[in-house]
Amino acid sequence: MTELDLTGVPCPMNWVRTRLALEPLPAGERLEVVLDRGEPLESVPRSAREDGHEVELDGNRVTIVKR
């Protein structure tokens, strides 16, 4: 599992970083991102779902399963 610490990284740059980290991963691979609470934690998981990925939340740790 790849991990990405995005605390302190505002929207939409955190989503840009997340997308770039997802890009080389094979389908089904998991990416764990750590996000600030508030807008990042609301917006990044939503954006990931809108792109078709599976998303699991655990506090401010978000696991994205690449579609």
Partner 1 sequence: MTLSDPEIERYSRQLVLPEWSGEAQERLRSASAIVVGAGALGSPAALYLVAAGVGTVGVVDDGTVELSNLHRQPLHFTPDLDLPKVTTAAIKLRVLNPEVQVEEYQVRLEEANADAIVAGAGVVLDCTDNFDTRYLVNDTCCAQGVPFVSGAVLGFAGQVMTIVPGRSACYRCAFATPPPAGAVPSCREAGVLGATAGIVGSIQALEALKLLTGIGSPLLDRILQLDALSMEQTLVATERGADCPACARVPAAAQSV
Size of the site for partner 1 (CB under 8 A): 14
Name which of 31 and 44 has its Cβ closer to partner 1.
44
Choice from 51, 55, 60, 65 touching partner 1 (CB under 8 A): 51
As a whole number of angstroms, the distance between CA 44 and CA 35 comes to 8
What are the residues whose beta carbons fall under 8 Å from the beta carbon of 29, sequence distance 6 or more? 1, 2, 65, 66
DSSP designation for 48:
H
Q: Which string of x and - marks every residue 23-42 that binds partner 1 (by CB under 8 A)? A: ----------------x--x
Query: Which positions touch partner 1 (CB under 8 A)?
Result: 11-16, 39, 42-44, 46-47, 50-51
